[in-house]
Amino acid sequence: MAIDYRQLKKWAFDEQISTYMKDDCIRYALSLGIASNPLDDDDLKYVDEDCTRVVPTFLATVGAPGPWAADPRTGIDWMQILHGEHRMRFYGALSAAGRLQSTTCVGRVIDKGADRGALVVTERSIVDHENGQLLATVEHVSFCRADGGFATTDIPGDEPLDALPATPSVEPDIVVEMPTLPNAALLYRLNGDRNPIHVLPEAAQKAGFDRPILHGLCTYGMAARAILKRVCASDPARLASLSARFSSPVLPGETLRAEMWCVEGGVRFRVVAAERGVAVLTNGVADIRCS
């Protein structure tokens, strides 16, 4: 069964109401390796009993539509999907507990060609359920490796998103190294993403990987961790947006090296698996608010 463009564009997602507590924020921060130095006073504000800070990318894990593309009616080969890009914009600091309303739609379906796959972009808005304040918007780009070639003259598909900026070719201004634990994926999956390719060797091998891989959104969150620490003075309210392309999988236990270039209004960044010298997160851009 091939992708049905019209079916995807009108796909009905249930509106989600999600309640989160302080422990959820703390678990998320710990899964990113925050407070790996338990004597770091700034990091402790994300994980102690008072929990006065919340990593903004926590919202990537709350109210997401789940494995909707696994529904056979989508025509998508679910086991061949990769997370291509993730783009988030934040409108203010989060409280450590709350109730959220998330609304999702399929914004774009892009045909890259019969041998090149397709891109499906879901768009999600997240508001505070109590007062209606917009907290974040999310564009999740799924790379459907086995589903290109659906376009016709009558249904050419959508135009792609504007391209993310290229990673600078000069030496970075800031470098942060962040080890990951061998069981990092087992910890991160407690945030809600239970895809078996992150846990079961046979599932990972079926998807074309030698062993279970780390969640892309964990790498993304770790990039946010580095930027918050070194560029935002550990103030989550200063991170206005975070966008990046997932270029290569991370193996749990690898050291991630975040490389940052300071530009007007923010930073460009990439993340490299240090031991292999492989860029795993590229074309990164973060907008930073003034303190």
Distance CA 173, CA 221 (A): 20
pLDDT at 82 exceeding the cut of 90? no
Tell me the CATH number at 236.
3.10.129.10
Distance CA 13, CA 44 (A): 37
pLDDT in tens, 209-260: 999 999 999 999 999 999 999 999 999 999 999 999 999 999 999 999 999 9
Band (pLDDT 50/70/90 cuts) for residue 11 is very high
- Give every strand in the sheet of 98-113, ordered side by side: 16-20, 98-113, 117-128, 134-144, 81-90, 239-246, 278-288, 266-273, 255-263, 174-179
For a pLDDT cut of 70, what percent of the chain falls above it? 100
| Range of the structural domain that residue 18 is part of | 5-288
Q: Please name the residue that has the structure tokens 């598909």.
A: 157
Active site residue 198: yes
Select which of 193, 210, 235, 287 is catalytic: 193
What average pLDDT does the chain have? Answer: 95
* H/E run at residue 134: strand 134-144
Give me the number of domains the chain comprises: 1
User: Using an 8 Å Cβ cutoff, are 101 and 17 in contact?
Assistant: yes
User: Using an 8 Å Cβ cutoff, are 182 and 41 in contact?
Assistant: no
Report the pLDDT value the prediction gives residue 93, as an integer from 0 to 100: 86
Active site residue 129: no
Q: Please name the residue that has the structure tokens 């929990």.
A: 51
Distance CA 284, CA 88 (A): 12
Q: Is the pTM of this model over 0.85?
A: yes
pLDDT at 1 exceeding the cut of 70? no
Select which of 83, 140, 198, 215 is catalytic: 198
